[in-house]
Amino acid sequence: MAIFFSSDSHLGHRNIITYCERPFKTITEMDYELIQRWNDVVEPSDTVYHLGDFTLQDDASQYFRQLNGYIHVLYNPWHHDKRWIKARMDTSVNTRYVSKSGHPIVARDPMAVLELDRTRKCPSIVLCHYPLARWDRQHYGAWHLYGHVHGRYQGEGYCYDVGVDNNDFYPVSLERIREIMVQKGWYEGWKQYG
């Protein structure tokens, strides 16, 4: 079971093609390609953390039914996803939305901290739709993954934009994130993860 991260799919959002100069002629083409690339790398048993701006549509089920994996979406009540998540759900399961793999979609708080076991060779990971200047346990080598900026901002330290516009429209694997952090100077024994 692999872990992936993504953000800012903006499925069904016609204007995002122009705003971000995406290489698609129509929303149908964009949606098809984003779904195809997701499923090219994500298996049914994998977990995906989507950091927000999944879709502007009122009903996201048409998209989730086409996507593999256990999907967690950070819910930001002030942004695009408020249209399909009618009420704040925290970490409860929304049985209305189910992935292609048959797993219920989980809506999470707007900011989440992942504490993965050390066998995955990574520290705490702070997830937020927006890039943060400082984050929990940053001085102990914690990573910060974000979206919102569509590849137009690269923060300082062990942080990375997991948005689709910054990653050739694919979700990013935990292994790839680790490689990026090592390139930024992080190493597995750094401060023993805090």
Short-list 144, 165, 173, CA closest to 4 = 173
Task: List, run by run, the mean pLDDT of 10-residue segments along the chain (194 residues).
Answer: 96 95 97 98 98 89 96 82 61 68 90 81 90 93 94 92 98 96 81 49
Going along the chain from its start, the domains and CATH numbers come out as: 3-193 (3.60.21.10)
Rounded to two decimals, the pTM is: 0.91
Judged on CB neighbours under 10 Å (0-12, 13-18, 19+), 40 is exposed
Distance of CA 89 to the CA centre of its chain: 18
pLDDT at 188: 66
- Spell out the residues 6+ positions from residue 77 whose beta carbon is closer than 8 angstroms to its own: 88, 110
Q: Which of 187, 46, 41 is nearest to 122 (CA)?
A: 187
Tens digits of residue pLDDT in 68-82: 999 999 987 767 777
